[in-house]
Structure 1
Amino acid sequence: MSTAPTRLTRNRDYLAWLAADTSWQFGSAVHGFAMTLICYAVTGSYAQAGSIATVSTIVSMVVMVPGGVLVDRWDRRRSLMISGALRMVVYAAAATAWWAGVLTAPLLYAVGVASGVVTGLFSGASDAALRSVVGTADLPRAVASNQGRDGAVSLAAPPLSGLLMGASYALPFLTASIGSLLQILCTRRIRADLRPQHDRPSPGQDTWHQEMLAGFRTILGSPLLRRILPALILVNAGLNALYTGVTLILTGRGVPAWRIGLIDSVMAVGMLIGAVLAQRLISRVPTGRLVVTIFIACTAVLVPVALTQSVPVVLACFGVLGLLVPAVNGAMGGYLQAIIPDELQGRALAAMHLVQMTLPGLMPAAAGLGLQHLGAGPTMAATLILFPAAAILMATHRELRALPTPDRWEIGTVEP
């Protein structure tokens, strides 16, 4: 059973972890917004500017599972500090190259590839370390708080990045480099033991290939995870397709870009508010009931978006969606981290992230093709089917519906 929850603001290790995680996330968001625009400024090519983020994402996905093995082998403090140091050097080099007038397309692609490698190899270390920093009962509230943080980053990073680019294209890179330095400094202030706790035989007894497959075996070996993961894939795929479809339809109608951009802003504000509300909901409402209810509510909220792409309707629905996201992500994300043994955190989370990214990653292209060849009505109707399908998967699983509040969760119950 998990321990009783405590106030996160009184946990110095959590505050240090949050500062470290936010520092590199914010820096990367500033850099990520600017990267496409800088690439276009350097090359004058829309194709090259659009492909650089895709290349970085593909590289990250390729190394994600081997990265999970590293996260479970090494002290996670070391992984966090190495990743911070590598990012700091890469982004500082890019800033220096711009100031020196030698930032070319190949160098930009090298920055994108290097960033993707570091993210794929080490990003899981931060999530895996969170369980060592907070008690299991606090995991859902910590994850929900992180959702609010993500909303704040989404609001602040793009305009700041644009402002910095107005002064110098080197400044977004420099900001990302400083964020990585802050990650290192804040990680050093975490006092908790971040080494993987091996309650089972050491992973060193397995081959590298066996260790990489352990994360997938963990997912396939749990009936509950086999039900949860497809539902998460469906809802994320639906959101990606719906968001892409709505933005393309509104663009085709001549809606100004700034009004379309309000969708992200409204959802980010909703996430900020929702993160506060999620703290009480997660503690008081049984996890199974909370997750199933929110999945059904999300389906109902997004129906109007699929039926009519009126800007006020879209903004209202995505704002409500933002309110709901922190609670469901906090409850579900916290539960998944709680039931996975500590020595499997890196590999299992990497496997889940990789699987979750695959189908949703194809949805923007699918939405574009659907709008091109089928039209808005059939495409949006097809998108809408994914949400009730996910809700049905969740609502019809007895074990999931019966999940209690976090203080009564069973810890580390999933076997590799």
Structure 2
Amino acid sequence: MSTAPTRLTRNRDYLAWLAADTSWQFGSAVHGFAMTLICYAVTGSYAQAGAIATVSTIVSMVVMVPGGVLVDRWDRRRSLMISGALRMVVYAAAATAWWAGVLTAPLLYAVGVASGVVTGLFSGASDAALRSVVGTADLPRAVASNQGRDGAVSLAAPPLSGLLMGASYALPFLTASIGSLLQMLCTRRIRADLRPRHDRPSPGQDTWHQEMLAGFRTILGSPLLRRILPALILVNAGLNALYTGVTLILTGRGVPAWRIGLIDSVMAVGMLIGAVLAQRLISRVPTGRLVVTIFIACTAVLVPVALTQSVPVVLACFGVLGLLVPAVNGAMGGYLQAIIPDELQGRALAAMHLVQMTLPGLMPAAAGLGLQHLGAGPTMAATLILFPAAAILMATHRELRALPTPDRWEIGTVEP
């Protein structure tokens, strides 16, 4: 059974983990906002700028599952230190190349590929380490707090990146490099043992191929995960399609870019506030009831966005969505990390992230084609199918509805 929850602010290891995770996330967000603009400035081509970002994403997806094996084989402290060192070197080299006047398209492709490899191989290490620094009952509140952190990063990183670019296009790269250095320094402050706990036979007894498949077997072997994952895919696909559709429609109507950008801002503010509210909800409301209720609420909130793309309506709905997201992600994300055994964290989370990225990744293109050939009305109405379908999958699963509060969870219950 789970232990009783504690105050996260009193957990020095969690605070060190949070500082490490925030440092590289913020640096990467500053770099990510600037990367496309820098690529266009260097190449003078929209196609090249988009291709470099696409290559980085594809590379990250390709190595994500092998990366999960590494995360489960190695001390996660080592993975965090190596990833921080590699990012620091890559981004520092890019900054130096800009200052030296030798940053070319091939070098930008190399930066994109290198950052994609590091992200794919090691991004799961931080999430996997979280379970070692907080108790199981604290996992949902920690995940919810991270959602608030993500909201703060989303608010602060783009404008700071723009300011830095005004001084020098090298500075976003330098900021990302410094963030990676801080990640390494903060990781060293974590006192907990971050080595995977192998309660079952060592993964070294399996072949590399078998280890990579273990994450997928974990998902398929659990009736609960088999129901949760399709619901998450549907809602993420719906959000991607809806967001892309709204953005394109508003752009076509001549709405200024700064007003469209407010969508992200109000959602980020909602997440900041929602992260505070989520702490009480997660500890007091049974997890199953909380998740199902919020999924249904999200469906209701997004219907007006699909039916009318009025800017005030869109902003209001996405603001409310931001309030709801930390609680559902904290409860569901914390539960998923709790039931997956420690020695499978890297592989199972990598498999889930890869599966979740595939269909949602196709939605921007699908939304664009729909708007081009079907028009705004049918395209936006089609997105409404995805949200109720996700809510129904959640609401009709008895085991999910029966999940208790985190202090009563059974942990490590999913077999590979």
TM-score normalised according to structure 2 size: 1.00
What are the Cα deviations for residues 155-213 of structure 1, in whole angstroms up to 9, with x where unaligned?
Answer: 00000001000000100000000000000000000000000000000000000000000
Q: Secondary structure of 1:2's match?
A: coil
Which stretches in structure 1 are left out of the alignment for 5+ residues? Answer: none
What are the Cα deviations for residues 256-291 of structure 1, in whole angstroms up to 9, with x where unaligned?
Answer: 000000000000000000000000000000000000
Cα distance in 1 for partners of 2:118, 2:82 equals 9
Q: Secondary structure of 1:363's match?
A: helix
Cα distance in 2 for partners of 1:55, 1:160 equals 25
1:185 aligned partner? 185
Q: How far did 1:51 drift?
A: 1.7
What are the Cα deviations for residues 29-65 of structure 1, in whole angstroms up to 9, with x where unaligned?
Answer: 0000000000100010011111211110100000000
Q: Secondary structure of 1:102's match?
A: coil
What are the Cα deviations for residues 120-146 of structure 1, in whole angstroms up to 9, with x where unaligned?
Answer: 000000000000000000000000000
Percent identity at matched positions? 99
Cα distance in 1 for partners of 2:51, 2:255 equals 25
What are the Cα deviations for residues 96-138 of structure 1, in whole angstroms up to 9, with x where unaligned?
Answer: 0001100000000100100000000000000000000000000
Cα distance in 2 for partners of 1:150, 1:111 equals 24
What are the Cα deviations for residues 288-339 of structure 1, in whole angstroms up to 9, with x where unaligned?
Answer: 0000000000000000000000000000000000000000000000000000
Cα distance in 1 for partners of 2:164, 2:134 equals 36
Which runs of structure 2 are paired with 1:265-280 in the superposition (5 Å)? Answer: 265-280=265-280
| 2:169 paired with 1:163 | no
Q: How far did 1:87 drift?
A: 0.2
Cα distance in 1 for partners of 2:282, 2:54 equals 36
Q: How far did 1:252 drift?
A: 0.5
Cα distance in 2 for partners of 1:167, 1:253 equals 33
Q: How far did 1:352 drift?
A: 0.1
Q: How far did 1:227 drift?
A: 0.1
Q: Secondary structure of 2:259's match?
A: helix
2:381 aligned partner? 381
Cα distance in 1 for partners of 2:53, 2:15 equals 31
Q: Secondary structure of 2:178's match?
A: helix
1:40 aligned partner? 40
Cα distance in 2 for partners of 1:379, 1:239 equals 13
Cα distance in 2 for partners of 1:306, 1:168 equals 40
Q: How far did 1:366 drift?
A: 0.2
Cα distance in 2 for partners of 1:19, 1:57 equals 25
1:370 aligned partner? 370
Cα distance in 1 for partners of 2:354, 2:47 equals 26
**RMSD (CA atoms):** 0.3
| 2:398 paired with 1:398 | yes
1:317 aligned partner? 317
Cα distance in 2 for partners of 1:53, 1:80 equals 23
Cα distance in 2 for partners of 1:122, 1:147 equals 20
Q: Secondary structure of 1:322's match?
A: helix
Which runs of structure 2 are paired with 1:205-216 in the superposition (5 Å)? Answer: 205-216=205-216
Greater shift after overlay, 44-53 or 93-102? 44-53
What are the Cα deviations for residues 357-403 of structure 1, in whole angstroms up to 9, with x where unaligned?
Answer: 00000000000000000000100111111000000000000000000
Cα distance in 1 for partners of 2:52, 2:6 equals 43
Cα distance in 2 for partners of 1:57, 1:9 equals 35
Cα distance in 2 for partners of 1:182, 1:261 equals 29
Q: Secondary structure of 2:195's match?
A: coil
Cα distance in 2 for partners of 1:320, 1:175 equals 32
Cα distance in 2 for partners of 1:31, 1:340 equals 33
Cα distance in 1 for partners of 2:119, 2:329 equals 21
Which stretches in structure 2 are left out of the alignment for 5+ residues? Answer: none
Cα distance in 2 for partners of 1:269, 1:216 equals 35
Cα distance in 2 for partners of 1:357, 1:39 equals 24
Cα distance in 1 for partners of 2:372, 2:318 equals 24
Q: Secondary structure of 1:192's match?
A: coil
How many equivalent pairs are there? 416
Cα distance in 2 for partners of 1:175, 1:245 equals 32
Cα distance in 1 for partners of 2:294, 2:167 equals 44
Q: Secondary structure of 2:385's match?
A: helix
Cα distance in 2 for partners of 1:39, 1:289 equals 46
TM-score normalised according to structure 1 size: 1.00
Cα distance in 2 for partners of 1:281, 1:360 equals 28
Cα distance in 2 for partners of 1:349, 1:263 equals 29
Q: How far did 1:26 drift?
A: 0.2
Which runs of structure 2 are paired with 1:6-405 in the superposition (5 Å)? Answer: 6-405=6-405
Cα distance in 1 for partners of 2:113, 2:378 equals 37
Cα distance in 2 for partners of 1:53, 1:402 equals 42
Q: How far did 1:84 drift?
A: 0.1
